[in-house]
């Protein structure tokens, strides 16, 4: 999944979608994920990266990542893949 | 090796005009990690999850404060521990050590009080269901019998006649104290004259010793003034008896019903901020009694059957997160190993829930479900909670009243109950149930003992 | 009042100057025009879009505070954080829903040097809608008949005593006029879902509505009193325009109210004069109303006098106001940079 190019993500976790005018906040793990998604990182790489940084097993991280991605989709912050 | 940061599940939250930031909705600022100096983590390691924990210190402190609230305002005060609120023997004995009598509402509770070593004359027997056998026992033991209805009154008179004993009785009076709902199913009504009729029947018969008057106006009362009204109505009855028969009742029993610090569902402000204190209730009751027209030679003993307000805050339920999930409408749901089977009071309270480990300022609106495979098993319908991971531990507060008596053995078994003593040492006071504790009571008819699949 | 001007730091809530406005911005205008002291204003907000947050010429800095439902302890902790940075002298809460918490905290705040001038908890409770009938009886003030109910069935029994329409009111907020049983039930359900039980059903008094805002010193004296008649009412029932009047009856009722209750702090009385000229007290709002700037404009700077009382300074009563002055409210669009919204949304201060 990729994040739309025009989405602005600030260092303090404020997310703004200029296309819709909606704004969001993310916590630190969410911010890490968004930044990796913006770089086009794949799911496995993100899970690996997070498990290096945080005390959590990959199963939990992967499940939370899926949920997070679903929310990102629900908020229309992703690029359509096709 | 560098230490890894604490993981918190990722969160993205839309900012809506009516949604404040982290300072707006946050209700929890600190994790709740210790009870009376004992770590929550070690309690759960030693006694499992979930586990009920009671603080002996909190019980005793609360009791002493309540007694002081009344004794500084009125000369003769007696508390009677309401067994139905929590009848674990260790709990009852803490109250008995503090000087409480026993207040029971069934033959089972009566026997329990006797087993604990309470003298029969220090047991108050309330409730609509007293069997003939219960009554005979209570009469022989000189217990205080609070009559609920006329059928009971006739039964007691019959036993008195037959055994040539003079039972010590009071009647329970229900009345309008300006609160809703009015409890009129127990006892005799004040306004329509039922109570006065019953008292006359007792006095005329000469078979019974009318020692007191009792009322119990409701539960989780938020209005001290209702108690003032109740106290003056009982004083009025006492005065009329004195006038008509020259008889003085020895005590006035105001029952229980004081609110604890829990927050009722639908309340806008938290109960810790708004609910009256024991001092408020004490002030209302004692000034109503002192200012009443009833002036016997010696003031009647004031009995209080306070349950909930004395023990709710001393009880904690520790549990763990089983899973997080997302509901079809996008709401977050968290499943705990604690459900309505253990937390019956979650049907009427919004219980305070605190994580037992570090968390950040981020929160998410969450539905809290229990572990039962049953739709109504919901602990909190909507709570703004810090982000919990699977396996995280939580503490549910103010659970000391009713949960350890109304809990259900449904689908799963009841957990350990631990009491932390005055020196901070935990003691197991009720062992968790096993499949044997349930199945040992069962019998299988021979023709049902075998099957083939 | 003091001669050498002191500089006070005053925290004010109710910055939601929207179509059903909070009084905060109007209060601040009064404070900034005070003659007896200079002040800097700290805003306290619940939501990130409260317009006052972005009015930097009125408010030096705004902080988020937790909702009342988070409890008194959470509020106190947050106020102490703010106090540490800003050294507050006075706090003026302006929402009904937060008053309980601020009243309960007032001694604790005062011990930390933060003054307030609020009704006592007994006064605050006695004027609750649910207690209004008793209040009227106790202080000999006409109030409309009303009853607190817990189920929609109880409306049927009221139907016999009261005429339609009925006013269906929430415990704290919200009111709606119901002309028949269906509307009454709908209103009951809607309001109870938001504000809980009981619901108050009040008889509707036909007549002309007057409002009086004022200030009591807690000893029964009237420090300020300005009556106003609404001239234009929005669909939310809020005054959009109003005019000061000289209504002796309304002023007499106000001074009777202050004398008999020894009211402490600011208030707004909602009065209804029926066809026969009788005055009914519909509601007592235990705080400054949103139209307070009208009172300032006609010579009674209630926010200033309230601050003075809070500081414990000798405060003289206002004797006069100009009748026949109007206020006309208007909406104003500010241009705000997203970064400001981002700042208040993520850090809780701006």
Q: ipTM of this predicted complex?
A: 0.93
**B330–chain A Cβ distance below 8 A for any pair:** yes
Q: Which two tokens stand for residue B121?
A: 């004359």
Residues of A in contact with B387 (CB under 8 A): 27
CA distance C302 to C225: 9
Q: Count A/C contacts: CB-CB distance under 8 Å.
A: 16
Contacts of C148 in chain B (CB under 8 A): 180
Residues B256 and B238 in one domain: yes
Residue B24: is its pLDDT beyond 50? no
Instruction: Say whether pLDDT at B167 is over 80.
Output: yes
For the record, the structure tokens of A57 come out as 């097993």
Residue B18 has pLDDT above 70, yes or no: no
Picking from A30, A58, A69 by the largest number of B CB atoms within 10 A of its own CB, the best residue to mutate is A30
Neighboring chain C residues of B29 at a CB cutoff of 8 Å: 74, 77
Question: Sheet containing C6-12: which strands, arranged edge to edge?
Answer: C61-64, C37-45, C6-12, C90-92
Q: Does residue B147 contact residue B186 with C-beta atoms inside 8 Å?
A: no
Compare A76 and B122 and report the one with higher pLDDT.
Answer: B122
d(CA C38, CA C158): 54
C5-64, pLDDT tens digit by residue? 899 999 999 998 887 889 999 999 999 999 999 999 999 999 888 999 999 999 999 999
Q: Is residue B338 part of a domain?
A: yes
In a domain, residue A15? The reply is yes
List pLDDT tens digits, range C249-308. 999 999 999 999 999 999 999 999 988 888 999 999 999 999 999 999 999 999 999 999
Residue A2 covered by a domain? no
**Structural domains of chain C, with CATH:** 6-116+334-347 (3.40.50.20), 145-203 (3.30.1490.20)
Q: Mean pLDDT across chain C, nearest whole number? A: 91
The pLDDT, as a whole number, for residue C123 is 94
pLDDT for B19 beyond 60: no
- The model's confidence at residue C348, banded by pLDDT at 50, 70 and 90, is confident
Q: What is the edge-to-edge ordering of all strands in the sheet holding C264-273?
A: C279-285, C264-273, C208-217, C222-233, C239-244, C326-328
Alpha carbon dihedral B179, B181, B185, B188, in 10-degree steps, equals: 20
- Tell me if B400 sits within 8 A of B313, measured CB to CB: yes
User: What contacts 24+ positions apart, CB below 8 Å, involve C112-116?
Assistant: C112/C80, C112/C83, C113/C83, C113/C87, C113/C88, C113/C89, C114/C11, C114/C79, C114/C83, C114/C88, C114/C89, C114/C90, C115/C89, C115/C90, C115/C91, C115/C310, C115/C311, C115/C312, C116/C90, C116/C91, C116/C92, C116/C310
* Gap between the Cα atoms of A24 and C93, Å rounded: 30
Mean per-residue pLDDT over chain B, rounded: 93
The residue among B11, B15, B324 with the most chain A CBs within 10 A of its CB, best to mutate, is B11
pLDDT of C1 higher than 70 = no
Q: Is A3 a member of any domain? A: no
* DSSP class per residue in C198-234: -EEEEEPPPSEEEEEEEEEESSS-EEEEEEEEEEEE-
**Cα distance between residue B359 and residue B366, in whole Å:** 16
pLDDT at B265: 86
pLDDT band, residue B21 (cuts 50/70/90):
very low
pLDDT digits (tens, 9 = 90+) for B190-204: 999 999 999 999 999
Please give the pLDDT value at position B50: 98
Domain that holds residue A67: 8-74
Q: Beta-carbon neighbour count of residue C252 at 10 Å?
A: 11
| Shortest Cα–Cα distance, A9 to chain C (Å) | 11
Residue pointed to by tokens 């829930």: B353
A36-56 confidence digits (pLDDT tens): 998 889 999 999 999 999 999
Q: Is it the case that residue B1 has pLDDT exceeding 60?
A: no
Residue B274 predicted with pLDDT over 80: yes
- Among B283, B306, B329, the domain boundary falls at B306
Residue A80 pLDDT > 80, yes or no?
no
CB-side exposure of B127: number of CA atoms within 13 Å?
Answer: 19
Residues 25-44 of A with CB under 8 A from B: 25-30, 32-34
In a domain, A80, yes or no: no
Within 8 A of C69 by CB-CB distance, chain B residues are: 27, 268-270
CB A13 within 8 A of CB A30: yes
Q: Which two tokens stand for residue B17?
A: 């005009």
Q: Could you tell me if residue A64 is inside a domain?
A: yes
CA distance B209 to B145: 10
Same domain membership, residue B426 and residue B294: no
Indicate if B277 and B317 belong to the same structural domain: no
CA distances from B153 to B147, B209, C183 (A): 6, 12, 49
Q: What is the mean pLDDT of residues B395-406?
A: 97
**B76: in domain:** no
Q: What is the pLDDT of residue B61?
A: 98
Measured CA to CA, the distance from residue C112 to residue C194 in angstroms comes to 35
DSSP annotation of B411: S
pLDDT at position B267 is: 79
Is the pLDDT at B214 greater than 70, yes or no? Answer: yes
Which domain CATH number covers B392?
A: 2.40.37.10
Least Cα distance to C71 among B172, B374, A11, B28 occurs for: B28
Q: Is B29 exposed, middle or buried (0-12, 13-18, 19+ CB in 10 A)?
A: middle
- Mark whether B45 and B175 lie in a shared domain: no
In a domain? residue B65: no
Say if residue B271 is in the same domain as residue B418. no
B253-292 burial by CB neighbour count: b if 16+ within 10 A, else e? bbbbbbbbbbbeeebbbbbbbbbbbbbbbbbbbbebbeeb
Pairing of strands A22-26, C279-285: unpaired
Domain assignment of residue B410, yes or no: yes
Predicted local distance difference test score (pLDDT) of residue C2: 46
| Cα–Cα distance measured from residue B236 to residue B193, given in angstroms and rounded to the nearest whole number | 12
The percentage of chain B sitting over the pLDDT mark of 90, rounded to a whole number, equals: 81
Same domain, B328 and B194: no
Residue A42 lies in a domain: yes
Domain holding B176, by residue range, is 126-306
Q: Are B278 and B350 part of one and the same domain?
A: no
Please state, in angstroms and rounded to a whole number, the distance separating the CA atoms of residues C287 and C213: 9
Q: In which band, very low, low, confident or very high, does the pLDDT at B20 lie, cut at 50, 70 and 90?
A: very low
Q: What pLDDT is attached to residue A81?
A: 62
Q: Are residues B260 and B142 in the same domain?
A: yes
Q: Is the pLDDT of residue B157 over 60?
A: yes
| Alpha carbon distance B117, B122 (integer Å) | 10
pLDDT tops 50 at residue B292: yes
Calculate how close chain B gets to C189, using CA atoms only, in Å.
13
Q: Are residues B274 and B362 in the same domain?
A: no
Determine whether the interchain pair A27/B362 forms a contact, defined as Cβ–Cβ distance below 8 Å. yes
Check pLDDT > 80 for residue B16: no
What is the predicted pLDDT for the residue at C270? 93
With a cut of 60, say whether residue B27 has pLDDT above it: no
Among B9, B10, B18, B388, which would you mutate to test the A interface (most chain A Cβ atoms within 10 Å of its Cβ)? B10
Q: Say whether residue C72 is in contact with chain B using an 8 A CB cutoff.
A: yes
Q: From the list C72, C78, C196, which residue is nearest B268 (CB)? A: C196
pLDDT of residue C3: 53
State whether the Cα torsion C240-C243-C247-C253 is positive or negative. positive
* Burial class (CB within 10 angstroms; exposed 0-12, middle 13-18, buried 19+) of B450: exposed
Q: Is B24 on the interface with C (CB under 8 A)?
A: yes
| Residues of A whose CB is below 8 A from B25 | none
A14 in C contact zone (CB under 8 Å): yes
- Model confidence band, residue A4 (pLDDT cutoffs 50, 70, 90): confident
Contact C270, C212 (CB under 8 A): no
Least Cα distance to B363 among B11, B16, B32 occurs for: B11
**Does one domain contain both B294 and B350?**
no
Q: Do C74 and B27 touch (CB under 8 A)?
A: yes
Question: Per residue in C128-151, pLDDT tens?
Answer: 888 888 899 999 999 999 988 888
Cα nearest neighbour of C344 on chain A: A14
Number of folded domains that form chain B:
2
Provide the domain count of chain A. 1
Q: Which of B282, B306, B330 is a domain's end point?
A: B306
pLDDT at C163 over 80: yes
Same domain, B321 and B299: no
pLDDT digits (tens, 9 = 90+) for B414-447: 999 999 999 999 999 999 999 999 999 999 999 9
Q: What is the mean pLDDT of residues C220-245?
A: 90
**pLDDT at residue B14, rounded to an integer:** 85
How many angstroms away from the CA of C350 is the closest CA of chain A? 15
The contact set of C with A (CB < 8 A) is 338, 341-342, 345-347
Question: Per the structure block, which two tokens stand in for B404?
Answer: 């350890």
Same domain assignment for residues B290 and B317: no
Average pLDDT over residues B29-54: 95
Residue with tokens 């509707």: C204
> Which CATH number covers residue B180?
3.20.20.10
Of chain B, the percentage scoring pLDDT greater than 70 comes to 97
**pLDDT at position B48:** 97
């Amino acid at each position: 999944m990729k994040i739309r190019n025009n989405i602005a993500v600030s260092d303090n976790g404020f997310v703004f979608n200029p296309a819709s005018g909606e704004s969001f906040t993310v916590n630190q793990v969410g911010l890490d994920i968004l930044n990796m998604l913006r770089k086009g990182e794949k799911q496995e790489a993100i899970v690996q990266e997070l498990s290096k940084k945080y005390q959590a097993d990959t199963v939990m991280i992967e499940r939370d990542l899926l949920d997070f991605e679903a929310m990102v989709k629900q908020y229309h912050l992703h690029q359509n893949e096709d | 090796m560098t230490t890894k940061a604490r993981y918190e599940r990722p969160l993205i939250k839309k900012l809506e005009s009516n949604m404040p930031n982290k300072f707006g909705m946050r209700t929890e600022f600190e994790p709740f990690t210790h009870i009376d100096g004992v770590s929550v983590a070690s309690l759960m390691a030693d006694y499992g999850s979930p586990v009920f924990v009671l603080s002996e210190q909190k019980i005793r402190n609360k009791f002493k404060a309540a007694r002081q609230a009344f004794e500084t305002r009125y000369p003769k005060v007696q508390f009677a521990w309401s067994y139905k609120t929590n009848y674990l023997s260790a709990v009852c004995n803490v109250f008995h050590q503090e000087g409480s009598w026993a207040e029971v509402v069934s033959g089972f509770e009566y026997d329990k009080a006797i087993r604990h070593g309470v003298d029969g004359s220090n047991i108050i027997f309330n409730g609509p269901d007293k069997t003939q056998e219960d009554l005979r026992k209570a009469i022989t033991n000189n217990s205080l019998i609070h009559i609920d209805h006329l059928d009971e009154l006739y039964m007691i008179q019959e036993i008195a006649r037959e055994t040539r004993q003079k039972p010590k009785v009071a009647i329970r009076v229900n009345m309008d104290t300006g609160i809703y709902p009015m409890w009129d199913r127990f006892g005799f009504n004040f306004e329509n004259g039922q109570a006065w009729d019953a008292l006359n029947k007792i006095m005329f018969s000469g078979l019974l010793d009318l020692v007191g008057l009792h009322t119990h106006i409701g539960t989780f009362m938020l209005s001290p003034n209702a108690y003032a009204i109740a106290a003056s109505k009982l004083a009025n009855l006492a005065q009329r008896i004195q006038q008509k028969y020259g008889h003085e009742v020895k005590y006035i029993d105001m029952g229980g019903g004081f609110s604890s610090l829990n927050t009722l569902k639908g309340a806008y402000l938290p109960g810790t901020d708004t609910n009256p204190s024991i001092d408020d209730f004490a002030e209302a009751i004692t000034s109503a009694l002192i200012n009443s027209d009833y002036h016997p030679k010696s003031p009647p003993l004031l009995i209080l059957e306070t349950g909930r307000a004395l023990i709710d805050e001393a009880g904690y339920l520790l549990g763990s997160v089983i899973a997080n999930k997302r509901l079809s409408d996008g709401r977050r749901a968290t499943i705990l190993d604690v459900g309505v089977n253990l937390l019956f009071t979650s049907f009427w309270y919004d219980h305070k829930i605190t994580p037992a480990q570090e968390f950040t300022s981020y929160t998410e609106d969450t539905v809290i479900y229990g572990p039962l495979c049953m739709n109504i098993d919901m602990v909190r319908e909507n709570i703004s909670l810090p982000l919990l991971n699977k396996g995280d531990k939580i503490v549910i507060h103010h659970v000391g009243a009713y949960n350890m008596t109304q809990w259900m053995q449904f689908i799963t078994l009841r957990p350990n109950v631990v009491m932390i003593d005055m020196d901070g040492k935990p003691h197991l006071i009720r062992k968790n149930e096993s499949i044997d504790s349930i199945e040992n009571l069962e019998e299988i008819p021979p023709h049902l003992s075998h099957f083939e699949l | 009042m003091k001669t050498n001007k002191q500089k006070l730091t005053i925290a004010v809530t109710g910055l939601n100057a929207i179509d059903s406005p909070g009084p905060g911005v109007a209060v601040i205008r009064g404070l900034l025009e005070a003659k007896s002291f200079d002040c800097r204003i700290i805003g306290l907000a619940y939501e990130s879009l409260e317009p006052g947050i972005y009015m930097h010429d009125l408010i030096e800095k705004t902080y988020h505070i937790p909702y009342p439902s988070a409890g008194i302890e959470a509020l106190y902790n947050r106020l102490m954080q703010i106090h540490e940075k800003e050294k507050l002298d006075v706090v003026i809460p302006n929402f009904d829903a937060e008053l309980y918490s601020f009243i309960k905290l007032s001694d604790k705040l005062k011990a930390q040097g933060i003054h307030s001038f609020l009704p006592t908890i007994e006064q605050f409770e006695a004027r609750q809608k649910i207690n209004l009938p008793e209040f009227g009886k106790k202080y000999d003030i006409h109030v409309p008949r009303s009853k607190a109910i817990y189920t929609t069935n109880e409306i049927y029994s009221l139907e016999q005593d009261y005429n339609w329409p009925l006013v269906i009111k929430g415990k704290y907020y919200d009111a709606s006029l119901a002309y028949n049983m269906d509307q009454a039930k709908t209103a009951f359900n809607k309001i109870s879902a938001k504000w809980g039980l009981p619901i108050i059903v009040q008889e509707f008094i036909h007549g002309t509505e007057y409002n009086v805002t004022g200030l009591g010193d807690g000893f029964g004296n009237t420090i300020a009193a300005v009556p106003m008649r609404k001239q234009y009412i929005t669909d939310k029932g809020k005054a959009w325009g109003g005019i000061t009047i000289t209504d002796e009856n309304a002023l007499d009722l106000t001074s009777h109210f202050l004398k008999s209750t020894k009211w402490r702090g600011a208030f707004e009385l909602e009065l209804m004069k029926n066809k026969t000229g009788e005055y009914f007290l519909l509601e007592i709002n235990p705080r400054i109303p949103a139209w307070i700037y009208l009172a300032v404009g006609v010579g009674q700077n209630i926010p200033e006098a309230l601050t003075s009382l809070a500081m414990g300074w000798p405060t003289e009563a206002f004797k006069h106001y100009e009748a026949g002055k109007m206020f006309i409210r208007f909406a104003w669009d500010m241009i705000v940079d997203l970064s400001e919204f981002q700042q208040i949304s993520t850090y809780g201060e701006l």
